[in-house]
Amino acid sequence: MASEAVHSGAHSGVHAEAHEEAHHELPARVEPDVTTSELIATTEANATGVRNWMWILGALTLVGIVVAFVKVLIEWSDQDEWGYTAAMVAFLFSAFGGAPLVAIAGTLAKGNWVRPIARFAALCSLVSIICTIWMIPLILNLPMLVVDGARRRSIWFEGPDVSPHIWALVAMITLIISALGLIYAYAIPDFAAMRDHSTGWKQRFGAWLARGWIGTTVQWRTMRMRIGMMGTLYFFTFVFVHFIISTDFAMSLVPGWRDAIFPMYHAISSIQAGLAVTVIGLWAARKYLGLEKYLHLDQFWSIGRLMFAFTLLWGYFFISAFIVFWYGRSGSDQMWIDYLILGPYFWVFILAMLFIWFTPWWWLIWNRVRRSYNGTAIGAGLILLGVFLDRVRLYVAAWTVPEDRIHERFLTEYPSTVYPDVMDIFIMVGALAGSILLILAATRVLPILSIWDVQQFNLLYRPVEYMKTKVSLIGKPD
Amino acid sequence: MQQRRTIDQIHTNRVLLNGQLDTPKWWAPTVIVLGIIVAIGFFLIGIMVNKGLGVTGLSRPVYWGLFITTFVFWVGISHAGIMISAILRLSQAEWRRPVTRAAELLTVFSLLTALLFPLMHAGRPWRIIYFILPYDFARGIMPNVRSPLIWDPVAISTYLTGSTLFLYIALLPDLGNLRDRTTGWQNALYTILALGWRGNPRQWKLQTVGGILLSALMLPIFVSVHSIVSWDFAVTPAVEGWHSTIFAPYFVIGAVHSGVSAVVTMMALMRWLWKWEDFIRPEHFDALARLLIVVATGWLAFTFLELLFAVYGLDAPELELRDMQIFQWPWNLLFVTFLFTGYIIPVGMWLQKSVRNNIALMFWSSLFVNIGMWLERFMIIVPGLARKTPFVYTWEAYRPSGLEWFILFWSLAWVTFLMLLFSRFFPLVPLFEQKESQTFGDSIKIGRVRVPAIVREAD
């Protein structure tokens, strides 16, 4: 097939963007030098605005930490007071922890569209640091395996008394290590670009972390291998952490709740939320860092389709559990429905269903919506709200079960609704602010879009004319 | 992985239509032998209908045995078509092209076979009608529409209808091709079936849109079918080992594992029998093996969760069942065989690139998977029923009869027989997909290197 490159950079500005949304114009290619200099410049871009935001987020984080200390001092022994903190940690880990999977899966599947977004998705894994910090009071508040002389139900069976506590910590630390390893494996060529194109401390920092990178064939091959290894490690650790958090920090606290699908349900909704976080991050990067040239409809459209698929998958996993409990009608089956759905958090459940499943389903089903920047971002926002509410429904309900009833065959009297107090709100806002702050701070050092990935995207992509139409030609190297 | 090969359209037509225009010599004897086995099978089914289920090993408390296991097995195999065809079509995976037709065909024939097993299992097949019609109008005894046993035939019939349509729509361009290359009654047959296909832009557009729409519509059906089959068991709390929330996705992912493995088996046979080395290449086996590693590992995770949460509740009957299933003779042998053939041996092999590109090894490893997956279904269905429970004074009563074993092997012969009959009249590798892949294949120059490339449409 004869291929002929279409003129690059034909459209620019607002008019071109509107035109692109309407007709899905093929993205124009950007020259390598321009890409490098513009993406390195993003670490300084909109410096005042970003700095102001960082101050605000830093202040909120600090307030959250101070309030958490106060809470530790006055409400330490009340397990039910920590439900909202548990929900927030579960939400943050779900949302930000799931995002890197977009990069990993896309890279392993050699998807070209995923290249420009891989960096941001990988950076989201930094939030595992925040989650680990906020998990410390939760780990310390988690009941021992032996309560009142008897062993409670858990996935640790006859394990040591502190198994859940130790394994939660081990899992989170492994996650942090794999997250940092993943970010670093992705970033080496960009550190080299920083070394060669920046000045001052950034140049020295880049030179130190680039480890003599000059882009030889061996270095590229090693880097790809590292990304594959760290990606696989991150994925397995991610699944393991979901398994630990969902069982030890929720299921095992509610007598009679035995739900084999729950860890997978937790992981699926995490990937759904991770996709949503990626969309919102990219939408913000496009809008506030002027990256329209690098973030195209292709990325939003592809993630939009994945979000839609995971929204349906969430519904499937939920119904798979629900139908078995509904038909089972045993005491513990009935308890699951009565306490976690129809019980004290009924309205939270309804809202969660609405935002995590029903509304995104009927919103993202439209191709026109998925093919728009704002439409996809709205869908993503709804999903994040839904996942947060779902975590509140599950974790607050689990943490409010009194410890003295943990040996019951199944819960017969349900604790009443616990609403968040002022301290809970400050802690939740602080944890969220801390997470955003960490990512924002990372983008001040590393470009939010990986330079080498964008370069490769441009190298492997050609807009070509085919008969009377325009198509993309995508290179598929081994 | 992309082993680009330029194949001209004349060569494609000649080689891929060799089953229809130039029947291979082995075809007739094979079909006759299989036909005899199929006839014996139908004769035995007739005996069973005449004598009743007493000729099987089924009895209280094991009332679901080999037939239901084989039913679940074939429903599982049927998941190959949609997994390969619909999902890979929607995700625009290029390597799917030579595989799609065989996968869709396997779906249709395995569903047809699966449907026969509940009929046989009913003992008096005509009474199946009471699943959907009232048993006694006068007394108002109605079928329980809330039962998964009712949803089962509905879901499977819908899936069968959709899969047949899917297969047919993808077959249209090839039927037009055959029409133009045959004479006499064959020409008349293909003329009718081709529905006036001329290959003009409008027809191509409709065919493509139809394929994509059906792909999207078939996906939820594909998931629902095996989920409903799983709920036949999971909504029954009375039988230990069945009442688990994970059953639906666990069955679906297991079905994809066995279905895609069956496609590998079939592709190896197609390559050997019809000598399609140019079209079914090691790269396709490599891609399928990579997919299978992911699917199989997911399936293993589900297996682990199923086992873990079965004992999590610390209920004595459940613990006893798992003890029997895993540690007691002869179940322990079956359990170990299932684990080794379903995962450890095949995935261990597929991790090696040399195995993924070796068609004979891929063939044998895919057979292992389906032995393991059949055993998995057997281990889910039978032990829970066979274990002694309070107030039941017969147990461990099930030993499949020779007739049941023969009907299991008959089902394999039956599906192969149908496939071979199909191959006599219709191409097993879609010609138009091959030609399209040639058109869409290109290369781009990066520095001094030419990299294989693929054309993607903007929308």
Q: Does A22 touch chain B (CB under 8 A)?
A: no
Q: Does position B395 have pLDDT exceeding 70, yes or no?
A: no
Q: Is B137's pLDDT higher than 70? A: no
Cα of A221 to nearest chain B Cα, Å: 16
Helices (H), A13-117: 13-23, 32-41, 47-75, 83-98, 100-108
Residue A150 lies in a domain: yes
User: What's the gap in Å between the CA of A477 and the closest CA on chain B?
Assistant: 6
Judging contacts by C-beta atoms under 8 Å, the chain A residues touching residue B223 are 316
The chain A residue lying nearest B219, using CA atoms, is A309
What CATH code is carried by the domain that includes residue B335?
Answer: 1.20.1630.10
Q: Is residue B1 assigned to a domain?
A: no
CA B197, CA B195: separation in Å to the nearest integer?
A: 6
| B380-391: average pLDDT | 85
Q: Which amino acid is at A126?
A: L
What would the mean pLDDT of A194-214 be, rounded to a whole number? 89
Residues of chain B found within 8 Å of residue A333, distances taken between Cβ atoms: 237
CA distance A148 to chain B (A): 18
For residues A446 and A190, the answer to whether their CB atoms sit within 8 Å is: yes
Q: CA A113, CA A301: separation in Å to the nearest integer? A: 10
Give A-chain residues touching B220 at CB under 8 angstroms.
312
Interface test with B, best of A151, A324, A372 (most B CBs within 10 A): A324
Task: Kindly determine whether residue A328 and residue B305, on different chains, have CB atoms separated by under 8 Å.
Answer: no
Mean residue pLDDT of chain A comes to 88
CA A19/CA A7 separation, integer angstroms: 17
What number is the average pLDDT over the span A325-339?
92
Contact A119, A278 (CB under 8 A): no
Q: Say how far apart CA B371 and CA B342 lie, in whole Å.
A: 7
Asked if A324 lies within 8 A of B235 by C-beta distance, the reply is yes
Domain that holds residue B77: 21-454
DSSP string, A370-414: HTSHHHHHHHHHHHHHHHHHHHIIIIIHHHTS-GGGTTSSS--SP
What DSSP string describes B161-174? HHHHHHHHHHHHHH
Closest C-alpha among A71, A235, A231 to residue A141:
A71
* ipTM score of complex: 0.91
Is the distance from CB of A277 to CB of A95 less than 8 angstroms? Answer: yes
At A315, is the pLDDT very low, low, confident or very high (cuts 50, 70, 90)? very high
pLDDT, one tens digit per residue, over A435-455 is 999 999 999 889 999 999 898
Task: Measure Cα distances from B404 to B60, B124, B317, B369 in Å.
Answer: 17, 16, 29, 22
Length of chain B in terms of residues written: 459
Chain B residues with CB under 8 Å of A25 CB are 458
Give pLDDT tens digits for A32-66.
888 888 888 888 766 677 888 899 999 999 999 99
Q: How confident is the model at residue B3 (pLDDT cuts 50, 70, 90)?
A: low
Is A320–B439 a contact, with Cβ atoms under 8 angstroms apart?
Answer: no
DSSP B139-163: TTB---TTSHHHHHHHHHHHHHHHH
Q: Which residue is closest to B238 within chain A, CA to CA?
A: A328
Give mean pLDDT, residues A64-73.
90
| Cβ pair B303, B42 in contact under 8 A | no
Chain A residues touching B314 at Cβ < 8 A: 153
Percent of chain A at pLDDT > 90 equals: 62
Asked if pLDDT for residue B254 goes beyond 80, the answer is yes
> pLDDT category, B197, cuts 50, 70, 90?
very high
Q: What is the pLDDT of residue A103?
A: 85
- Section B313-335 average pLDDT: 90
Based on the number of CB atoms within 10 Å of its own CB, is B119 exposed (0-12), middle (13-18) or buried (19 or more)? middle
The lowest-confidence range among A18-22, A366-370, B120-124, B398-402 is A18-22
User: What span, in angstroms and rounded, lies between the C-alpha atoms of A247 and A262?
Assistant: 8
The tokens for B193 are 């079936």
Is position A102 within any domain? Answer: yes
Interface test with A, best of B147, B227, B246, B446 (most A CBs within 10 A): B246
Q: Return d(Cα A75, Cα A421) in angstroms, integer.
A: 12
- pLDDT band at residue A24, thresholds of 50, 70 and 90? low
Of the candidates A324, A470, A471, which has its C-beta nearest B245's C-beta? A324
CB atoms within 10 A of CB B51: 12
Query: What residues does B456 pair with on adjacent strands?
Result: A472
pTM here is 0.91
Could you tell me which of A222, A189, A116, A110 has the C-alpha nearest to residue A475? A110
A5 in any annotated domain: no
Nearest residue in B to A306, CA atom: B91
A4 within a domain of the structure (yes/no): no
Asked if residue B279 is part of any domain, the answer here is yes
Cβ contacts of A317 on chain B, cutoff 8 Å: 249
- Nearest residue to A446 (alpha-carbon basis) of A121, A89, A229, A214: A121
Whether A3 has its CB under 8 Å from any CB of chain B: the answer is yes
Q: Which residues in chain A touch residue B443, judged by CB atoms under 8 angstroms apart? A: 475
Give me the pLDDT at residue A356, please.
95
Say whether B245 and A474 touch across the interface (CB within 8 A): no
Domain assignment present for residue A2? The answer is no
Q: Is there a domain that residue A304 lies in?
A: yes
The reported pLDDT for the residue numbered A13 is 40
Among left, alpha and beta (phi > 0; psi -120 to 50; other), residue A13 is left
Q: Residue A1: inside a domain, yes or no? A: no
Across the range B10-22, mean pLDDT stands at 83
More confidently predicted of B127 and A270: A270
Check residue B111 and give its pLDDT. Answer: 93
| CB of A477 less than 8 A from some CB of B | yes
Q: Is position B250 within any domain?
A: yes
Give pLDDT, residue B1.
Answer: 44
Of the candidates B302, B454, B459, which has its C-beta nearest A476's C-beta? B454
A33's tokens: 């030098």
Question: Which pair of tokens denotes residue A224?
Answer: 């790809």
How many Å apart are CA B459 and CA B457, to the nearest integer? 6
Answer whether A472 touches B (CB < 8 Å): yes
Nearest to B326 by CA among B316, B315, B335: B335
Tell me whether residue A12 is in a domain: no
Residues A71-97 as b/e (b if ≥16 CB within 10 A, e otherwise) read: beeeeeeebebbbbbbbbbbbbbbbbb
Cα–Cα distance list, A213 to A98, A192, A207, A451 (Å): 30, 6, 9, 14
Using the beta-carbon criterion (under 8 Å), do A239 and B451 form an inter-chain contact? Answer: no
Per-residue pLDDT of B359-372, as tens digits, reads 999 999 999 999 99
Residue B68: the pLDDT is 95
- Banded pLDDT at B386 (limits 50, 70, 90): confident
Say whether B456 and A473 touch across the interface (CB within 8 A).
yes
CA distances from A92 to A33, A182, A273, A437 (A): 37, 19, 9, 13
Which A residues, 226 through 255, put their C-beta within 8 Å of a C-beta on chain B? 239
Q: Which amino acid is at A315?
A: G
Q: Which residues in chain B are closer than 8 Å to A476, comparing Cβ atoms?
A: 2, 451-454
Report how many domains make up chain A.
1
CA distance B333 to B335: 5
Residue A199 has pLDDT above 50, yes or no: yes
Residue B206 lies in a domain: yes
Q: Is B359 a domain residue?
A: yes
Nearest chain B Cα distance for residue A75, angstroms: 31
pLDDT of residue B18: 81
Average pLDDT over residues B59-77: 92
DSSP codes, A96-162? HHHTHHHHHHHHHTT-STTGGGHHHHHHGGGHHHHHHHHHHHHHHHSPPSEETTEEPP-TTTTS-TT
B123: left (phi over 0), alpha (psi -120 to 50) or beta: left
Question: Are residues B444 and A3, on separate chains, in Cβ contact within 8 Å?
Answer: yes
What are the tens digits of pLDDT across the range B160-194? 999 999 899 999 999 999 999 899 999 999 999 99
pLDDT-derived band of residue A25, with 50, 70 and 90 as boundaries? low
Task: Return all residues near B25 (Cβ < 8 A) that are at least 6 apart.
Answer: none
- Locus of tokens 């493995």: B261
Q: Closest chain B residue to A458 measured between Cα atoms?
A: B446
Q: How far is A440 from chain B (nearest CA, A)?
A: 33
Q: Tokens 């080498």, residue?
A: A452
Could you tell me the residue range of the domain that residue A143 belongs to?
A: 25-474
Of the two residues A473 and A427, the one the predictor is more confident about is A427
Q: B197 or B146, which is more confident?
A: B197
Q: Which letter does DSSP use for residue A449 in this model?
A: S
Q: How far is CA B86 from CA B103, B202, B329, B365, in A?
A: 10, 22, 42, 25
Residue B388 token pair: 């002694």
Furthest-apart CA atoms within chain A: distance in Å = 79
**Cβ count within 10 A of residue B220:** 11
Q: Write down the pLDDT at residue A387.
A: 97
Q: Is the pLDDT of residue A110 over 90?
A: no
Return the pLDDT at A11. 37
Give residue B396's pLDDT. 65
Closest CA to B438 of B7, B16, B93: B7
Report how many domains make up chain B: 1
* B315 vs A contacts (CB less than 8 Å): none
Element (H, E) at B262: helix B247-274
Per-residue model confidence (pLDDT) at position A462? 84
Residue B68: exposure state from Cβ atoms within 10 A (0-12, 13-18, ≥19): buried
Mean per-residue pLDDT over chain B, rounded: 89
* pLDDT tens-digit readout, B81-111: 777 778 777 777 777 888 888 889 999 999 9
Mean pLDDT value across residues A10-23: 45
Determine, yes or no, domain membership for B459.
Answer: no
Per DSSP, the three-state class of A464 is strand
Q: A with B: how many residue pairs have Cβ under 8 Å apart?
A: 123
